[in-house]
Structure 1
Amino acid sequence: MVNIIMFGPPGSGKGTQSKLLQDKFNIIHLSTGDVCREEIKLATPEGLEAKRLIDGGNFFPDKLAYRIVEKFLDSNNTAKGFVYDGMPRHEGQIEVFDEMLSKRNGVVDLVIELKVEEEILIQRLLKRGESSGRPDDSGREVIIKRLRIYDDVTAPIAKRYKERGVYHSIDAIGSLNNVLDRISLLLEEYLAVEMIPVEVQR
């Protein structure tokens, strides 16, 4: 099983590229947000707890998010691999994430950060905000604030994974297929070296 962390600033395309990798390599795209929303929709015990917190205006705690993700992993324990989109979000989550994988005989194999110039990110998010109506993409000041939070909270995890030798940055400017090709080349090279039997769909 291969475990890939995909991260990057808002608007970098990490969700889109994770879904494309899922289709191409027959691995599972695990979006923390999507998995948690599904638990809420199904009204599971974890979902009901999450809904109570959100409805009360509280932050979604790391501990609950990981419980939900672990439940998802255990229900997909025959998967050939996962691409994680949305975790870990900050340095404090790295050890918990490692422990979660270790309990399932896994490790972080690849960490891929999508790199995009800030002004391009801003324009992408403004355009997305126009079409989706998302309040967090509604204006330049709101977007810049989100980007600063990413720089302060999430970007520092790169240093930790560089120290392990599993970090890679990818130029995420260009067409979806061009960016996918860059990521796929990296993953195919890793799989060839490790000889992990992941089915590639061409």
Structure 2
Amino acid sequence: MINLVLFGPPGAGKGTQSDMIKEKYNLVHLSTGDLLRGEIKAGTPLGIKAKELMDQGQLVPDEVVIGMIDSKIKANKEGNGFIFDGFPRTVAQAEALDGLMSENDIAISGMVALDVDEEELTKRILKRGETSGRTDDQNEDLIRNRVKEYNTKTAPVANFYEAQGKYKAIGGVGSIEEIFTNLCAAIDSL
């Protein structure tokens, strides 16, 4: 069983790469962004609150995200493993995820991070915003705020997994295929 955290700032290519990783390794894809967007589309109270926060470039509260993740783990325990995309975003979430995994008699195998500089991230997200319909993908100030949030709150999660010997960084610039090949090499080494 492989339980992988795919890590990187907004626009690093996690969504693109996670789809390919999910297919190759037959993993259950847990994207907090997709889960939250599903709640938003359904117009649930959680979705309405999440949209307000996301439109401001802020993170959704831990207890909400952790509850959604716990449900998905419990519903998919018999598979080949999980790929976590966009979670954990804070050290507190990483600790909670380790706790959830332990409660379910599984563990995180490793974290693979996509490294991309801020200017490239901004270009990618603005380009994505042309077709995504997401307001937070169309405003450069919001994008830069999201990257700043990532750098201050999310990047320390890498240290959490590095201290466990479970962290690998991969260059996130290049062709999709080159990045995927490098990711697979890192995953296979876990």
1:26-72, Cα deviation, whole Å (9 max, x unpaired):
111111122344467679xxxx55246448x5774321222222111
Residue 95 of structure 2 corresponds to 95
Unaligned runs of 5+ in 1: 191-202
Alpha carbons 2:98, 2:108 under 8 Å: kept = yes
Q: Secondary structure at the match of 1:113?
A: strand
Runs of 5+ consecutive residues of structure 2 not aligned to the other structure: 54-58
The C-alpha deviation readout for 1:79-134, integer Å capped at 9, x for no partner, is: 10111012111112122111100011111111011001221111111211223332
Distance (Å, rounded) in 2 between the aligned partners of 1:49 and 1:19: 29
For 1:29, give the aligned amino acid.
Answer: H
Is 2:46 the counterpart of 1:50?
yes
Matched residue type, 1:74 = K
| Count of aligned positions | 185
Report what 2:13 is aligned to. 13
Q: Which structure's CA Rg is the greater one?
A: 1
Instruction: State the SS of the aligned residue for 1:79.
Output: coil
Query: C-alpha separation between the residues in 1 aligned to 2:86 and 2:10?
Result: 11
Please give the residue correspondences for 1:62-77 in structure 2 after superposition, counting only pairs within 5 Å.
62-77=62-77
- Identity across the alignment (%): 36
Q: Matches of 1:135 and 1:70 in 2, distance apart?
A: 29
**Equivalent position of 1:24 in the other structure:** 24
Q: CA deviation at 1:139?
A: 3.1
Q: What one-letter code is carried by the residue in structure 2 that aligns with 1:6?
A: L
* Paired residue secondary structure (2:189): helix
Answer yes or no: is the 8 Å Cα contact 2:26–2:80 preserved in 1.
yes
Quote the offset at 1:141 in angstroms: 2.4
1:102 is aligned with what amino acid? Answer: S
Matches within 5 A, 1:11-160: 11-38=11-38, 48=44, 50-51=46-47, 53-54=49-50, 57=52, 60-160=60-160
CA-based RMSD: 2.2
Q: Is the 8 A contact 1:35 1:72 kept in 2?
A: no
For 2:127 and 2:36, how far apart are their aligned partners in 1?
A: 26
**Partner SS state of residue 150, structure 2:** helix
Taking the aligned partners of 2:99 and 2:41, their CA distance within structure 1 comes to 28
CA 1:117–1:64: 2 relative to 1, 3 Å: closer
- Distance in 2 separating the partners of 1:4 and 1:34: 17
